[in-house]
Amino acid sequence: MFCKSCYANLPDGTEICPKCNANLAAKMPIEETDKKMDSSTNSNDSSSGSSSADIAMDIKKRSERPRAGVIIIGSLAGIIFAFLAFVIYQRIDFRPSVQKEALIPDKAQDSQPVQSNKTTIALPKAAEDTVQNITAADPAIQKHLQDSKDYILNGKFQNAVESLKMALEKNPANQEIKKAISATYGVIAAKKAETGNYKDAVDDFKNAIRYFNEDSKLFLGMGSAYLQLNKNTEAADALNSAAALDPNLVEAYHLLADIYYKNDDVAKAVPYWEKVLSIDPSDQKARYFLSKANREKDTNEKFTKELTSHFTIRFEGQEEREVGRIVLSILEDAYREIGREISIYPETEVIVYLYTKQQFRDVTRSPSWAGALYDGKIRIPISGYNNDMTQLKRNLYHEYVHALVRSIVKEGRCPTWLNEGLAQYFEDKDKLDYRREMIKALQKNKVVIPVRNLEGSFMGFSSAQSHVAYSVSLAIVEFMIDRYGMYNVKRVLEELGKNKTIDEAMRDGLSIPYEVFQKEWQSDFEKGRG
């Protein structure tokens, strides 16, 4: 999800943006029509008092059959949304100038609250300043130094390294030249990390540290790159080295906390966020995650777990074990089926939490219309599925797709329309009748919501607004797949994973400008397709 105000990329369910302090949980007033639609599409709001054993038995016995409620909603949706379309359009559509500002990511900001592949090395100033401070009496050395300065000013950092190495050969004891080589390697490594080339970035950070091992920022950069390669042990070693060199380096503590949090060891993550706040009490990022982690710790401390080679599932009490096994079976099906279609299989395990409805609200603080959540872990309230295995499967497939997208995009920015559109596409292609009805209503009333206006978070929308945003996102993604194929959709995700903007990712993934894609989609939509 994205902050509605500053467009920082945040985990789904974030309530307060750590960058601008915007309240992301605030919703527009929800009319009775919203509530009706909310209850029709969120089966978690029913049968919350059923026991886990009953849920497990009923799920096993449940036959696959269409829900009458879906058919009714399909009929009502056209009338309801025809009436609401213009009002909702006002809320979603009239934001083009603000949204355009979000298309060029701020390279200095973390693309996620606790994890970033960015280093704090200035480019190319760090190398330039280091070289500028070196003086040498030997004309030959001075010539190599001048060459290195010229190369740096022209962005030829590898050439600068070679010139500096030649200068060092003539004066092997010169520590300033070693520092200059180190700083220049650091620039090279950081630039590679920015383009998603984390493996080579690690190698160049190692080269930098070999020449000068007292710069905490180099260890921080190397730890960040290791995280992107899912090498958590090596990342933790590098980050601890960074913190040892600079005990006030809050970025290192944030990343160390993230390592433990992602590995579901919340208790070990908490002290690092507490350390950040002891250094900087105004750090909203640490404050948000510390609060969230404490809520999770209190709720999850009695949870047990089941696991497969791809998933770890956590739940409370032995009576939930059978439900957990059913959930694991569905997720393994998703892993195989979706993996075959999009040719992606996440390398790291996906963590899943099964909650009661109240636990889900307490931990996630999500909007009332949210039936499940992915914020780095799949979180789903299991109550209410005793009469609807189809809805349970939909929600699990939906959230698994978010985990799949995160595994590709990593710390890049995935527009919400693409993320949510793909999640719906793989949910249950034959059971999205109410979405189709909504699209028809929008088309009939000639309401077109620009693609760019669906890049940010939907979390602040009311129930009706969210249904429109989700439906249009599905229609855009279906158009994208039909027109360009799943292979090229995957390429767009991979380009986003290289920290490219959506404009760049569409250009390199689909071989067309983003603006052209939007015009194609709008033309197709206005003709009544989708």
pLDDT 10s digits, 94-125: 333 232 222 222 222 223 333 333 443 444 45
3-state secondary structure of 302: coil
- pLDDT at 120 (0 to 100): 39
CB atoms within 10 A of CB 293: 21
- pLDDT at 18 (0 to 100): 56
Beta-carbon contacts of residue 318 (< 8 Å; ≥ 6 apart): 304
Average pLDDT on 18-33 reads: 46
- pLDDT at 325 (0 to 100): 86
- pLDDT at 207 (0 to 100): 95
Q: How far is CA 115 from CA 146, 190, 247, 382, 419, in A?
A: 38, 15, 19, 29, 19
Give the residue, 109 or 80, on which the prediction is more confident: 80
- pLDDT at 93 (0 to 100): 42
Rounded Cα gap, residues 386 and 388, in angstroms: 6
Rounded Cα gap, residues 79 and 76, in angstroms: 5
For 13, the token pair is 């369910």
Instruction: Tell me phi and psi for residue 332, to 5 degrees.
Output: -65, -35
Beta-carbon contacts of residue 302 (< 8 Å; ≥ 6 apart): 316, 317
Q: How far is CA 71 from CA 271, 306, 365, 411, 436, in A?
A: 51, 36, 31, 40, 12
- What band does 59 get if pLDDT is binned at 50, 70 and 90? very low
Average pLDDT on 323-330 reads: 88
Give the residue, 35 or 370, on which the prediction is more confident: 370
Across all residues in the chain, what is the average pLDDT? 76
- pLDDT at 368 (0 to 100): 65
Question: If you ran DSSP here, which 8-state letter would residue 453 be given?
Answer: G
Q: Is the pLDDT of residue 69 over 50?
A: no
Whether the model pTM is above 0.75: no
Rounded Cα gap, residues 19 and 5, in angstroms: 10
Average pLDDT on 476-484 reads: 94
Residue with token string 């190369």 = 151
- What band does 320 get if pLDDT is binned at 50, 70 and 90? confident
- pLDDT at 61 (0 to 100): 41
3-state secondary structure of 400: helix
- Give the model confidence (pLDDT) of 43-56 as tens digits: 333 333 344 334 33
Average pLDDT on 355-364 reads: 79
User: Of the spans 234-238, 312-316, 390-394, which averages the highest pLDDT?
Assistant: 234-238
Q: Per mean pLDDT, which range of 31-35, 438-442, 472-476 is the poorest?
A: 31-35
How many residues in total does the chain contain?
Answer: 530
Task: Please give the share of the chain, as a percent, with pLDDT higher than 90.
Answer: 36
